[in-house]
């Protein structure tokens, strides 16, 4: 039997059969991990051993924790989990809160104590929390007191979520920590022990739990940051993606600690407060969504963001027009990338040095990617097909038959349509589900959205296909206009003409609806399925 520190083996016992796993690659020197590995030891404890103890680690609202102070807090939290709440290695711990220093410390403490972190978005309701708790058989909870109401509803009549502590104003966690020593010996976990379960949003059905090991956490740090972003210990990270979302977990916590840098964790950073926080904290690296960069481009003149050196966009496709506007306003070329919960983080990316217009970038060292047809045959450059990826991380759904749909012949199939050019640059087309077939033509929803976004009157837009008797589907656009513009017949005609002059004429939206806002997930992704349901 391979070594495991987990006494509670529920997650290990409910991984997919090994035959259904993707092939894992560890052919880069930095991806050679020891058999026994604890991610918090690597990210935090070793930083202090290396002499970074007095450097700032986490910055918050009127708060500054050094690496040494963060370690003491994490150790106290781990003691509360083990000594007061009876956590044993392998237990699942649900984490609930906005981006905050205490939520970050809680994640690190769960990992250090050998638990499995289950991050959840703050806006989830009791039913959704109860569903996640049942799927993962979650026993423990660390929750922001301000979000207690829905959690308490979820705990009613449930065999799960029974051991809970609340942090923040009115909570009991800080008082429990105060009586604990600031020391804790990390559980010696296996590199292949589960460290976290990242749940997909579940907006289109039952959520899927993606299981990631301690080595997966470290692998994501050894790929995109090392080979593309290249942060240093002097960097200050800032951004908006939630820690519950693996894009945010990497960009807002793991990557900064891996680089021995610091991170700013402030809740609910809308574009304008984010710009102010960049100014106030002299942030150097920003992670946020394409929509936010588009809005922030109009705010650059109001704030001193001269400290900012690097910007990362992911979570949804980055329109060329948004990239251009941000570059012209800030002077910064965006690092673009695509990743996913199933592979934990970014696997195809571009830096300002190797950016090619219209392309997301090249596959990162450690990963391999190709574009394939429905029979998994590689397609030649220029042909659109499904993206297939393999590398040091990959999909392992928790007790879910949908594993067989995501992994084929050892490759992960994220569900994205791409084409690759002759130089190995990957060009995003759409989610496979977001290809609109109209009058026999295949049209990408994002391509039409990007065309509309280039019009000066358009603030945001979403494009879907809707059934049509004559054409099979027609293209419908939902448009948020900028202040001072009216959503009338004249504007519709103007936008349709603009799209026809920007892309192939058959791609223009035959129907345009004007809305005040678009439905988005907490991570900023456009929810096209909700637009489709509005017909």
Report the CATH architecture of 439-533.
2-Layer Sandwich (3.30)
Predicted TM-score (pTM) of this structure: 0.87
Q: Is 51 exposed, middle or buried (0-12, 13-18, 19+ CB in 10 A)?
A: exposed
Identify each DSSP E strand in 155-293 by its residue range.
163-167, 194-199, 209-213, 236-239, 262-264, 285-288
CA distance 347 to 220: 9
Angle (CA) 427-433-435 rounded to 5° is 60
- The pLDDT, as a whole number, for residue 205 is 56
How are the residues of the chain apportioned to helix, strand and coil, as percentages rounded to the nearest 5?
Answer: 35, 25, 40
DSSP string across 168-185: STT-SHHHHHHTS-S--P
Tokens of 262: 């610091």
* Cα 73 from Cα 177, distance rounded (Å): 8
Please give the CATH topology (third level) of the domain spanning 10-420: Rossmann fold (3.40.50)
Q: State the span(s) of the chain assigned CATH 3.40.50.12780.
A: 10-420
> In angstroms, rounded to a whole number, what is the distance separating the alpha carbons of residues 208 and 151?
20
Beta bridge partners of 385: 418
Give residue 484's pLDDT: 95
| DSSP letter assigned to residue 333 | -
Q: What is the pLDDT of residue 202?
A: 44
* Model confidence pLDDT, tens digit, residues 171-198: 999 999 998 999 999 999 999 999 999 9
What pLDDT, on the 0 to 100 scale, is given for residue 523?
Answer: 67
Q: Are 226 and 219 in contact (CB under 8 A)?
A: no
Residue 219: the pLDDT is 98
Which residues is 239 bridged to in the sheet?
287
Give the pLDDT score at 459: 94
Residue whose token pair is 């926080």: 277
User: Which residues make beta-bridge pairs with 431?
Assistant: 416
Mean pLDDT of the chain: 93
Alpha carbon distance 48, 45 (integer Å):
5
Number of Cβ within 10 Å of residue 522's Cβ equals 18
Hey, is 352 helix, strand or coil? coil
Instruction: Specify the pLDDT at position 433.
Output: 77
The share of the chain scoring above pLDDT 90, in percent, equals: 80
Mean pLDDT per segment of 10 residues, for the chain of length 535 residues?
94 97 97 98 98 98 96 98 98 97 98 98 88 96 96 93 96 96 98 96 68 98 98 97 94 98 91 96 95 93 98 84 94 95 96 90 98 96 96 97 95 95 93 79 84 93 86 90 95 94 87 93 78 76
What are the distances in angstroms from CA 478 to CA 415, 448, 514?
Answer: 23, 11, 6
Judged by DSSP in three states, 517 sits in: coil
> b vs e for 467-493, b when ≥16 Cβ sit within 10 Å of the residue's Cβ?
eeeebebbbbbbbebeeebebeeebbe
- The secondary structure element, H or E, covering residue 498 is helix 489-502
Strand 63-66 to 310-313 pairing: unpaired
The answer to whether 504 and 477 have CB atoms below 8 angstroms apart is: no
Residue span(s) of the chain under CATH 3.30.300.30 come to 439-533
**Strand pairing report for 426-431 and 416-420:** antiparallel
Three-state SS for 404-454 is HHHEECCEECCCEEEEECCCCCEEEEEEHHHEEEECCEEEEHHHHHHHHHC
The CA distance from 173 to 391, in Å, is 39
Q: CB–CB of 429/418 below 8 Å?
A: yes
The first and second tokens of residue 39, run together, are 């991610």
Residue 117, CA distances (Å) to 72, 107, 245, 246, 405 in order: 19, 6, 12, 12, 25
């Amino acid at each position: 039997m391979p070594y495991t520190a987990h006494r509670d083996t529920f997650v290990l016992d409910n991984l997919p059969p090994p035959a259904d796993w993707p092939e894992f690659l560890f052919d880069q020197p930095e991806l050679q991990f020891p058999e026994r590995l604890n991610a918090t030891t690597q990210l935090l404890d070793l930083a202090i051993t290396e002499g970074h103890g007095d450097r700032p680690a986490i910055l918050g609202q009127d708060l500054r924790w050094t690496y040494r102070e963060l370690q003491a807090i994490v150790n106290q939290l781990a003691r509360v989990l083990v000594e007061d709440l009876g956590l044993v290695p392998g237990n699942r711990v649900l984490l609930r809160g906005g981006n905050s220093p205490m939520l970050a410390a809680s994640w690190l403490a769960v990992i250090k104590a050998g638990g499995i972190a289950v991050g959840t978005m703050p806006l989830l309701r009791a039913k959704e929390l109860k569903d996640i708790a049942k799927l993962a058989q979650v026993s423990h909870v660390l929750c922001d007191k301000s979000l207690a109401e829905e959690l308490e509803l979820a705990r009613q009549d449930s065999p799960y979520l029974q051991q809970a502590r609340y942090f923040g104003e009115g909570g009991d966690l800080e008082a429990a920590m105060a009586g604990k020593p600031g020391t804790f010996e990390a559980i010696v976990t296996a590199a292949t022990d589960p460290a976290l379960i990242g749940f997909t949003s579940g907006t289109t059905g039952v959520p899927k739990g993606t299981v990631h090991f301690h080595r997966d956490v470290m692998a994501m740090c050894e790929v995109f940051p090392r080979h593309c972003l290249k942060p240093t210990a002097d960097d200050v990270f800032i951004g908006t993606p939630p820690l519950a979302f693996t894009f945010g977990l990497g960009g807002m916590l793991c990557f900064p600690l891996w680089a021995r840098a610091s991170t700013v964790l402030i809740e609910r950073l809308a574009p304008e407060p984010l710009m102010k926080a960049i100014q106030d904290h002299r942030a150097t690296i920003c992670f946020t969504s394409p929509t936010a960069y588009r809005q922030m481009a109009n705010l650059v003149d109001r704030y001193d963001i001269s400290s900012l050196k690097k910007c990362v966009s992911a979570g949804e496709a980055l329109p060329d027009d948004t990239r251009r506007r941000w570059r012209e306003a800030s002077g910064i070329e965006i690092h673009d990338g695509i990743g996913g919960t199933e592979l934990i983080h970014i696997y195809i990316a571009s830096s300002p040095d190797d950016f090619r217009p219209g392309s997301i970038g090249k596959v990162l060292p450690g990963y391999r990617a190709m574009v394939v047809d429905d029979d998994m045959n590689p397609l030649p450059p220029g042909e659109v097909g499904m993206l297939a990826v393999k590398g040091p991380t990959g999909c392992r759904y928790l007790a879910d038959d949908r594993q067989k749909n995501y992994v084929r012949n050892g490759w992960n199939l994220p569900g994205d349509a791409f084409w690759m050019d002759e130089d190995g640059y990957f060009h995003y087309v759409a989610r496979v589900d977001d290809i609109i077939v109209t009058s026999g033509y295949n049209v990408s929803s994002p391509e039409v959205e990007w065309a509309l976004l280039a019009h000066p009157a358009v603030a945001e837009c979403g494009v879907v296909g809707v059934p049509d008797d004559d054409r099979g589907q027609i293209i419908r656009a939902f448009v948020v206009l900028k202040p001072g513009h009216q959503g009338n017949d004249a504007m519709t005609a103007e936008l349709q003409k603009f799209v026809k002059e920007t892309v192939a004429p058959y791609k223009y939206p035959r129907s345009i609806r004007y809305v005040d806002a678009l439905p988005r997930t907490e991570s900023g992704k456009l929810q096209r399925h909700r637009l489709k349901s509005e017909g």
